[in-house]
Amino acid sequence: MREQTTLAIEEATAIIFLMDGKEGLTPSDMEIVEILRNTRKPVFFVVNKIDGPKQEELSYEFYRLGVERLYTISAEHGGLGLADLMDDVAECLPLSCAIDDDEERIKIAVIGKPNVGKSSLINKIIGYDRTIVNPVPGTTRDTIDTPFEINDRKYLLIDTAGIRRKSKVSQRLEQYSVLEAIKTLSRCDVALILVDATEGVTEQDTKIAGLAYERGVVCIIVLNKWDLLEKDNSTIGKHVKYTKDKLKYLDFAPIISISALTGQRIYRIFELIETAYDQFTKRIPTPLLNTKVREFLDMRPPPRYRNRPHNFSYVTPCADQTEVQKKGQAGLRISIKFN
């Protein structure tokens, strides 16, 4: 925790140190304050859960810290005290910041059920503990964007809270995390779908993979914890076949076995990402696309609508989608996959 706190301080422009007024001043608070005393960056010491004048006395013991100013707020009750804090924070921030253009980065979402190794994989890739790794499911509770480069190619890694069954999502914070994880898929280019190789593909894995498939992103299936399996020459073949059988709708997706713990084959993931992403973004010439679609429709004509055939005008690629223009749009839904 100390190492990650130091890292966060190094990367921050300003620091808000939030403490729990109801819990009181803890040894962990004292330890972090000592670290913060050594930084020259602006630090705002904030005591939360001070819900009104009657709770103000809860903040008294925090004055033992000897800080210049202590902010008392109630994040839950209308943001009491937040206005003053935000005004002071805004004053110490630069008026403008150089924003990295994320458009030129390949955005990667690491998704999977809780405790499958998402944060461990990201930490191994970027070389330090950016996200907290903990064997207790649900430690990572928000999306964390990490820009980095490999072989002169720019990437943005998005770590998400584990997507879990609705019946297991009891806390409001966890519900927010699930929504954030699902929302992440709408802004990523590539989804690394982590599966625990020691468990195989579970029902929850199929639902998570289905979310990525439905959103039309590049999908790569990553079998993690490969180091824990007893293996022979046929192990990988059996696991690939088993995985494809379980995820039939992703039979086109590449599969790789790794160990996020040891780093085994992790950097091979990026070879797959580059190949799959380049294929995904390759523009198919409109004449060729029209020819292929017409060949498909000749072999498998769609059902008639109100006893009338469908008359197609043309097909044109639109970003990562294909738009089919026809006369009389009602009554037809087309799904075509080209290998």
* CATH assignment of the domain containing 39: 3.40.50.300
Query: Helix crossing, 27-36 with 2-11: angle to 10°?
Result: 40
Distance, in Å, from the CA atom of 184 to the CA atom of 110, rounded to the nearest integer, reads 9
pLDDT at 18: 95
In a domain, 98, yes or no: no
Cα three-residue angle 99-104-107, rounded to 5 degrees? 95
Domain interval for residue 45? 2-91
In a domain, 97, yes or no: no
pLDDT tens string 280-326: 888 878 888 888 888 887 887 777 777 877 777 777 766 555 444 44
pTM for this structure? 0.61
pLDDT tens string 115-156: 888 888 888 887 755 454 555 555 554 556 778 888 888 888
| Contact between residue 220 and residue 190 where contact means Cβ atoms under 8 Å apart | yes
Q: Are residues 220 and 276 in the same domain?
A: yes
Instruction: Label residue 159 by pLDDT band (50, 70, 90).
Output: low
Q: Are residues 255 and 296 in the same domain?
A: no
In a domain, 338, yes or no: no
pLDDT at 144: 65
Q: Are residues 177 and 162 in the same domain?
A: yes
Q: Are residues 211 and 317 in the same domain?
A: no
Q: Are residues 141 and 187 in the same domain?
A: yes
Q: Are residues 254 and 315 in the same domain?
A: no
Q: Are residues 113 and 181 in the same domain?
A: yes
In a domain, 339, yes or no: no
Contacts of 313 (CB under 8 A, 6+ apart): 325, 326, 327
Please give the single-letter amino acid code of residue 59: S
Q: What is the count of structural domains for the chain?
A: 3
Distance, in Å, from the CA atom of 248 to the CA atom of 246, rounded to the nearest integer, reads 6
Q: Are residues 129 and 173 in the same domain?
A: yes
What would the mean pLDDT of 184-204 be, rounded to a whole number?
Answer: 91
Distance, in Å, from the CA atom of 316 to the CA atom of 321, rounded to the nearest integer, reads 9
Q: Are residues 212 and 249 in the same domain?
A: yes
In a domain, 43, yes or no: yes
Distance, in Å, from the CA atom of 190 to the CA atom of 333, rounded to the nearest integer, reads 26
Q: Are residues 266 and 317 in the same domain?
A: no
In a domain, 333, yes or no: no
In a domain, 46, yes or no: yes
In a domain, 335, yes or no: no
Q: Are residues 154 and 302 in the same domain?
A: no
Instruction: Label residue 93 by pLDDT band (50, 70, 90).
Output: confident
Instruction: Label residue 258 by pLDDT band (50, 70, 90).
Output: very high
Q: Above 60 in pLDDT, residue 90?
A: yes
Reduce the secondary structure of the chain to three states and give it as a string: CHHHHHHHHHHCCCEEEEEECCCCCCHHHHHHHHHHCCCCCCEEEEEECCCCHHHHHHHHHHHHHCCCCEEECECCCCCECHHHHHHHHHHCCCCCCCCCCHHHCEEEEEECCCCCCHHHHHHHHHCCCCCCCCCCCCCCCCCEEEEEEECCEEEEEEECCCCCCHHHCCCHHHHHHHHHHHHHHCCCCEEEEEEECCCCCCHHHHHHHHHHHHCCCEEEEEEECHHHCCCCCCHHHHHHHHHHHHCHHHCCCCEEECECCCCECCCHHHHHHHHHHHHHHCCCCHHHHHHHHHHHHHHCCCCCECCECCEEEEEEEECCEEEEEEECCCCCCCCCCCC
Looking at 243, 266, 281, the residue that finishes a domain is: 281
Looking at 39, 69, 91, the residue that finishes a domain is: 91
Q: Are residues 172 and 31 in the same domain?
A: no
